């Protein structure tokens, strides 16, 4: 049986070295393994008026250009919830106050996805898309009111952009470059998925409230727990069918368990209603969008212009044939002598010479076959009638290709 395609295999990453401490040292933290005991966290604490001396075991510090007033970023090594709780508890024994935090400060939580399949991560992101506004309400209700994190330019909600979890679905279809186009300053940043195998929750503002931080870590843990435990289709069907207050309550309990009550902030029904709508937007087919329709209209307008140009070049009485690709080739060229197009390679070369999209070669071949068959009939008719079919003229291009004599070259257009 084939190994499941995990994020680690997909991006060729190894699992990180996990920071652990002896169980005896965990003390009161040992019993609480968090919602997902296997989930590895990495937390970045941005603090101003900070000292590197505050660093504790399992943590490093570095300077951060986005901070001021001797701001530092304290970064925990990859560790499980139990160890992280202990690490943060030790760190926050240092007395910090409002002088250490400004709207510039944030707490970023990286959560490891290396052991997850692409579909599990997609499930996770689909849930995130639905609950995003609920999560932001939780964050804003517990932060300094003047720091409104939803309006912050460093953690823009997905719901305010046109970015959706669909990017992961498209990645599953092989479009890995999509991750490169992702924006770092989204509330849930997917860029580290390709570089470290993590996703980064950038929602939380700077705080020394350990209960609040731990609750946030648990909320994230629950998203991972559910994503790893249930199939994509099961979660999707539960989410898209949410439309009553009782269902909103039930889904919060189902996903966030003991943390659900913390998320039941004022107006959370409205947030979930919007979340479901955002999810449906993400699930909507991508073919018919304003952008694609506009592009399609632009293409049609260009075709019209080209058609008019070609029409202007054609002598009166010439047979109109569909514009574009082989149609144009055939319409511009006099009848094609048999044998000219009898080799597929030469056809493709001709297509290249005419600067037509090579992917249309199949269509070209079909049309040329039809044209050749018609030509064959013409020659047969001419033979029967004792007349001679006209011989077409071709020119050689400077790079050794041939084109119909009156076919417009790019530079002529």
Partner 1 sequence: MYDTYTQENQRDFAARYCDTFGWLIDEKRNNKRLVYLAETDGDHLYFYSQLGGVKQHTIAGAGVMFEFIPVDHGWFKADNGAIYLLTRVPARQWKRGISRSNTSITGITGNNVPVNFEVMSSIFNEKNPQTYTYSSARPIALSKHFAIDAKKNVFFYDSLIGTEDNGIITLKNNHVLQELQDLVRRKKLPLEIKVG
Residues that bind partner 1 (CB under 8 A): 103, 146, 148, 151, 153, 156, 159-163, 183-186, 243, 276-277, 280-281, 283-286, 288-291, 293-295, 297
Of residues 297 and 369, the one with the C-beta less far from partner 1: 297
**Closest to partner 1 by CB, 22 or 288:** 288
By C-beta, is 280 or 409 nearer to partner 1?
280
Please report the DSSP string for 156-189 in residue order: B-GGGSS--THHHHHHHTT-TTHHHHS-TTBSEE
Q: C-alpha 249: how far from its chain's center?
A: 30
Q: How far is the CB of 158 from partner 1 (least distance, A)?
A: 9
Q: How many CB atoms lie within 10 A of CB 46?
A: 23
Considering beta carbons, is residue 243 or 245 the nearer one to partner 1?
Answer: 243
The least distance separating partner 1 from the CB of residue 288, rounded to whole angstroms, comes to 4
Q: Which DSSP string corresponds to 119-132?
A: HHHHHHHHHHHHHH
Q: How far is the CB of 178 from partner 1 (least distance, A)?
A: 15
DSSP assignment, residue 53?
G
What end-to-end distance do the CA atoms of the chain give, in Å?
57
CB 84 within 8 A of CB 41: yes
Residue 284 or 338: the one with the smaller Cβ distance to partner 1 is 284
Q: How far is CA 224 from CA 40, 122, 230, 236, 364, in A?
A: 10, 11, 10, 15, 50
Q: How far apart are the C-alpha atoms of 23 and 41, rounded to whole Å?
A: 18
Hey, what are 210's tokens?
Answer: 């350990």
* Region class of 368: left (phi > 0), else alpha (psi between -120 and 50), else beta: alpha
Q: How near is the Cβ of 97 to partner 1 at its closest, in Å?
A: 22
Q: How far is the CB of 356 from partner 1 (least distance, A)?
A: 27
Nearer to partner 1, 101 or 224 (CB): 101
Are residues 132 and 159 in contact, defined by beta-carbon separation less than 8 angstroms?
yes
Least distance between partner 1 and beta carbon 197 (Å): 22
Distance CA 310, CA 242 (A): 55
Least distance (Å) between residue 159 CB and partner 1 = 6
Which residue, 92 or 182, has its beta carbon nearer to partner 1? 182
Query: Least distance from C-beta 250 to partner 1, angstroms?
Result: 17
Name the minimum Å distance from CB 164 to partner 1. 10
CA–CA separation, 80 vs 41, rounded Å? 6
For residues 323 and 303, what is the distance between their CA atoms, to the nearest angstrom? Answer: 8
Complex with partner 1: residue 241 or 393, whichever CB lies closer: 241
Give the integer Cα–Cα distance in Å for 44 and 106: 8
Q: What φ, ψ does residue 200 adopt, rounded to 5°?
A: -115, 120
| Shortest CB 249 distance to partner 1, Å | 18
Q: Which is nearer to partner 1, 75 or 163 (CB)?
A: 163
Nearer to partner 1 by Cβ, of 78 and 205: the residue is 205
Strand order in the sheet with 59-63: 59-63, 72-76, 41-47, 106-112, 198-205, 188-189
């Amino acid at each position: 049986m084939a190994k499941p395609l995990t994020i680690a295999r997909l991006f060729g990453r190894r699992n990180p070295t996990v920071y652990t401490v002896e169980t005896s040292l965990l003390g009161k933290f040992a019993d609480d393994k968090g919602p997902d005991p296997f989930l590895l966290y990495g937390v970045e604490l941005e603090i101003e008026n900070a000292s590197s001396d505050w660093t504790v075991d399992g943590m490093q510090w570095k300077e951060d250009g986005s901070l001021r007033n001797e701001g530092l970023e304290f970064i925990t090594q990859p560790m499980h919830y139990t160890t992280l709780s202990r690490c943060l508890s030790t760190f926050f024994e240092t007395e910090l106050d409002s002088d250490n935090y400004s709207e510039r400060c944030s707490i970023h939580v990286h959560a490891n996805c290396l052991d997850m399949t692409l579909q599990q991560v997609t499930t996770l992101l689909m849930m995130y898309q639905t609950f995003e506004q609920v999560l932001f309400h939780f964050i804003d209700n517990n932060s300094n009111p003047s720091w409104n994190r939803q309006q912050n330019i460093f953690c823009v909600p997905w719901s305010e952009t046109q970015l959706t979890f669909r990017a992961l679905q498209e990645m599953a279809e092989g479009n890995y470059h999509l991750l490169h186009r992702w924006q770092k300053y989204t509330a849930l940043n997917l860029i580290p998925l390709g570089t470290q195998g993590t996703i980064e929750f950038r929602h939380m503002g700077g705080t020394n409230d350990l209960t609040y931080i731990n609750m946030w870590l648990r909320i994230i843990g629950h998203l991972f727990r559910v994503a790893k435990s249930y199939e994509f289709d099961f979660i999707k069907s539960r989410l898209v069918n949410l439309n009553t207050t009782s269902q909103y309550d039930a889904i919060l309990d189902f996903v966030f368990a003991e943390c659900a009550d913390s998320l039941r902030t004022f107006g959370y029904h409205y947030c979930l209603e919007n979340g479901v709508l955002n999810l449906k937007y993400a699930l909507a087919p991508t073919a018919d969008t304003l952008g694609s329709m506009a592009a399609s209209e632009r293409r049609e307008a260009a075709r019209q212009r080209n058609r008019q140009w070609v029409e202007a070049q054609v002598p009166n009485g010439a047979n109109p044939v569909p514009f574009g690709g082989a149609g144009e080739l055939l319409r511009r060229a006099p009848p094609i002598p048999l044998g000219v197009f009898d080799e597929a390679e030469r056809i493709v070369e001709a297509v290249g010479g005419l600067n037509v999209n090579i992917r249309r070669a199949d269509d070209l071949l079909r049309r040329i076959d039809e044209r050749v068959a018609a030509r064959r009939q013409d020659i047969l008719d001419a033979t029967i009638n004792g007349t001679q079919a006209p011989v077409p003229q071709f020119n050689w291009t400077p790079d050794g290709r041939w084109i119909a004599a009156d076919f417009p070259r790019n530079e002529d257009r």
